[in-house]
Amino acid sequence: MKGLLIYEKAEIERNQSFIDRLINAASTHGHNLTVVDDQSSIPKTDFIFFRSRNPQLAKELEQRNIPMFNRAEVNVVANDKLKAIQLVQLLGIATVPTIKIKTVSEINEYPVVLKTINGHGGKQVELVHTEKEATTFLNTFSEYTIIAQKYIETNATDVRVFMLGEEVLGAVKRTGPQDSFKSNFTLGGTVEKYTLDNQQREAVEKIAKALKSDYIGIDFLLLPDGNWLFNETEDPVGARSYFETTKKDIALPIMEYIHKKLTKNERDEI
């Protein structure tokens, strides 16, 4: 089968190593995977592995009735932090206390974490300590929807869980630099392997099942007492921290999963 791997143009070069591994893994199942940027004309194909933060394009492509991993609604929810929080709250899973705000008068206490709903990679998110700082953030990102989250001391530590379907591929504990509250590995943080307990495993499986997702990351703030609070869902999710802690090529199980899904679809059509 011919497949398309769709990325934002700026992300193709940065993710070339992972792209190459996905192409190689696809070829072992007889699939020809080609990378395309999300601003190009999307040609006809047999399936799509959607790796762009572009919910509108995802919805348009889904209308072609082509098998797509992840489905469009996953991209919609994962790239709207407020929608993700609301979904997980409905599932009865503890989340970081979050409200949507338009003015600083809606902020009840400082420090507070302010975010745009569609930022990623530690961008468009700040820990602010004063009304003046909050005003600057709101003015800077005035064209975006902004949420305010209660600041919870975690020593800049969180957990990212990698999900393939409803299966846990692995999890990493991420700790940010001492001068930052952000735990992102790409911003200079450190990572180590993390083992989920039964309750945590049940929580992430419930989220993946509700989303009907294929390959996502689910992020939780890790509290000093060992409990955690849901924070964000990532689609597309990067795999650098997974490789760093396991030395395993995550492209292999991903393409095995996609191959099995495509094979099942073919059988169902017969």
Name, in order, each residue with C-beta under 8 angstroms of 199's C-beta and a sequence gap of 6 or more.
none
CA distance 92 to 98: 15
Residue range 186-206: mean pLDDT, rounded: 89
**CATH hierarchy code of domain 2-72:** 3.40.50.20
At residue 186 the predicted structure's pLDDT band, cuts being 50, 70 and 90, is: low
pLDDT over 60 (residue 222): yes
Tens of pLDDT, residues 229-265: 999 999 999 999 999 999 999 999 999 999 999 998 7
pTM of the model: 0.92
The pLDDT of residue 121: 81
Residue range 108-134: mean pLDDT, rounded: 94
pLDDT over 90 (residue 98): yes
Domains in the chain: boundaries: 2-72, 81-93+154-238, 98-150
CA distance 146 to 125: 10
pLDDT over 70 (residue 178): no
The pLDDT of residue 120: 86
In the chain, what percentage of residues exceed pLDDT 70? 94
The pLDDT of residue 160: 96
At residue 270 the predicted structure's pLDDT band, cuts being 50, 70 and 90, is: low
Mean pLDDT, the chain, rounded, equals: 93
CA distance 197 to 220: 14
Are 12 and 57 spatial neighbours (Cβ–Cβ below 8 Å)?
Answer: no
Domain 81-93+154-238 has what CATH class? alpha beta
Fold observed for domain 98-150? Dna Ligase; domain 1 (3.30.1490)
